[in-house]
A and B are shown apart, each in its own frame.
Chain A
Amino acid sequence: MSQNNNYWQANLRLIALCLAIWFVVSFGFGIILVGPLNAISIGGYKLGFWFANQGSIYVFVVLIFYYAKRMEKLDREHNVHEDKDD
């Protein structure tokens, strides 16, 4: 059981990391800090506007695949994966 508990704690830490990034790119860069970031331009995009219109979505996609990949590894490390025999 403590084995499973360690697995759960590791999962919670990973979720906290991913959701922190999720929050920063959308609510942080796209809304709260949009003013200051708009002073910076990449190409024709103001940076804050870019995060709100495009960038946050790209980061969301990467985050989900990163989470899925890390969890598959955690599943195996903690021996709770689905292919294991009973």
Chain B
Amino acid sequence: MSLQATTYLVVGLTFALYIGIAIWARASTTKDFYVAGGHIHPVANGMATAADWMSAASFISMAGLIAFMGYGGSVFLMGWTGGYVLLAMLLAPYLRKFGKFTVPEFIGDRYYSKAARIVAVVCLIVASVTYVIGQMKGIGVAFSRFLEVGYDTGLVIGMGIVFIYAVLGGMKGITYTQIAQYCVLIMAYTIPAIFISLELTGNPVPQLGLGSTMSGSDVFLLDRLDQVLNDLGFAAYTTQARLSLTNMFVYTMSLMIGTAGLPHVIIRFFTVPKVKDARSSAGWALVFIAILYTTAPAVAAMARLNLIHTIEPSPGEYMVYDERPDWVRKWEKTGLLAFEDKNGDGRIQYSANAETNEMIKIDNDIMVLANPEIAGLPNWVIALVAAGGLAAALSTAAGLLLAISSAISHDLLKGVWMPQINEKQELMASRVAMSGAILVAGYLGFNPPGFAAGTVALAFGLAASSIFPALMMGIFNKRMNKEGAIAGMIAGLGVTLLYVFQHKGVMFIASATYMGDMPQNWFFGIEPNAFGAIGAVVNFAVAYAVSNMTAPPPEHIQHLVESIRIPHGSKEITGDH
């Protein structure tokens, strides 16, 4: 069977599975729609959370990013996993005890204020919409590269699939499809990694292979990589920092806090039956995430080494361009890889020196996408990688869309505008909101705004500087009142946005920067994407100052805080007011 036919078959089978699940797991109540009935087993929820969390970026782009950043890429590895420790200890169990449907609902009740709830909805929608654009692009790209259908057609097919299971099943349908999607994406990620690790080091476990010696030699793989990169004029892989250690510190912290504050992740923990399940479920989520996140650095280093071996099979002996391997020819066509024989010797030199370097374009994404071909793996593995990339993008998109639609139908419609609507009407409203969210996300996928590149980082900055501090203080500081929380959220968000706009341009229009985007203008050399942690510090400081100058919260709020701190008396989740 040709590669094309195999890919269609594998992707088609996974899609049929998702649709089958959608029909089986329809939602019949708002509780089904918002929190999957509240009966998801903690291990199952952990798996669904892992798929919810790991996006097209984690699956397709992260290993490539690390391959070229070396040690500096560790900020993503630590940042996107360490947040789960914060989530498990500082937020998830207490928010589960609180027992409502959405994150803004907690903020509205805890700070006895509809204004606070609306501010939270705005933060949630901005963070989630920016994030969903990236997923939509991922779906379009995966289709166009693997199935050779146009980007637009791919996007429409992807939207159609999400539409079926998210509108029919809400959180219930999304949860069960995410579990299936996790299985697809983790197989697709680890199988090529195992083969490559075996080939390079003889060790089938990539996490161990990365620390092993090269096959048939007593040189360690990482030492060899450092050596060849140094010879080409690049920084050594294992010590190449990202800008500065201060920047890495703040960046890692921002990603951790941002992860813990992302509403589409938090609401997953409302689907487990008990408070103690919320704690252990965070641990399971991290187990399933760690399988991919500890494999990624091995894929990164091994793919980089393989790439160099292709270009320079033995020292000083460069690849003859006319004899380049098939996978190089194939990916050249996509524009992700490009060569220019500058000195006309018919061979391709790779070097850190931009003037003599002849591999003029190498896209990060190629490190994962072309991996199975570089290792010479069979067609079904390549087809599986296509299905895995789609599973990662679809599962994250669905989780984000649910967070957006429940904020609209539950927080704005039922909570603020039309409190009198009944359960049936609200369920209908949530389906309409979901359909609307899918259409908006699709529109933004077709017409990605100019600032799309900076948006995922912005989502983390927003969640870190606004949502996380408000939630944490709501639980850990009984004295925190609505004045403090609202002032803190606005200050944290304001500082973060100001810094990003200052260096990246207002709404990311490059010409509208009022301070250039260059390291010497950065505050302590901190890059704009890493600024969420500073915004969070500002949020905490402003909130404390303002709450100490204003009246303490009413007594029933202090009782509310006391009750969410203990598991006893936890009820099934409801959306009652």
B294 CB to nearest chain A CB (Å): 5
Most B CB contacts (10 A, CB to CB) among A43, A56, A68, A72 go to A68
B259 CB to nearest chain A CB (Å): 11
Instruction: Tell me whether B78 is interfacial, beta carbon within 8 Å.
Output: yes
Q: A26-B252, A32-B245, A82-B567 are in contact. Are A44 and B221 (CB under 8 A)?
A: yes
* B279 cross-chain contacts in A, Cβ below 8 A: 64, 67-68, 71-72
B567 lies within 8 A of A31 (CB): no
* B86 cross-chain contacts in A, Cβ below 8 A: 19
Q: Which of A25-74 contact B (CB under 8 A)?
A: 26-27, 30-32, 34, 38, 42-46, 49-50, 52-54, 56-58, 60-61, 63-65, 67-68, 71-72
Q: Is the interface of B mostly helix, strand, loop or mixed?
A: helix
Q: Which residue of A lies closest to B248 (CB)?
A: A31
B90 lies within 8 A of A57 (CB): no
B89 lies within 8 A of A67 (CB): yes
Cβ contact of B276, chosen from A22, A31, A32, A82, cutoff 8 A: A82
Report how far A28 CA is from B247 CA in the complex, Å: 14
* B208 cross-chain contacts in A, Cβ below 8 A: 43
B325 CB to nearest chain A CB (Å): 27
Of the four ranges (under 10, 10 to 19, 20 to 34, 35 or more), the interface on chain A belongs to 35 or more
B297 lies within 8 A of A54 (CB): yes
* A19 cross-chain contacts in B, Cβ below 8 A: 85-86, 89
Q: Which residue of A lies closest to B79 (CB)?
A: A26
A58 lies within 8 A of B290 (CB): yes
Report how far A1 CA is from B275 CA in the complex, Å: 20
Cβ contact of B78, chosen from A8, A50, A52, A72, cutoff 8 A: A52
Report how far A86 CA is from B407 CA in the complex, Å: 34
* B367 cross-chain contacts in A, Cβ below 8 A: none
* B293 cross-chain contacts in A, Cβ below 8 A: 57
A68 CB to nearest chain B CB (Å): 4
Report how far A19 CA is from B570 CA in the complex, Å: 26
3 nearest CB pairs, A to B: A44-B220, A52-B74, A64-B283
Q: Which residue numbers of B lie inside 8 Å of A, CB to CB? A: 71, 74, 77-78, 81-82, 84-86, 88-90, 93, 207-208, 210-213, 220-223, 238-239, 245, 248-249, 252-253, 274-276, 279-280, 282-283, 286-287, 290, 293-294, 297, 562, 565-570
Q: Which residue numbers of A lie inside 8 Å of B, CB to CB? A: 1, 4, 7-8, 11, 15, 18-19, 22, 26-27, 30-32, 34, 38, 42-46, 49-50, 52-54, 56-58, 60-61, 63-65, 67-68, 71-72, 75, 79-82, 84, 86
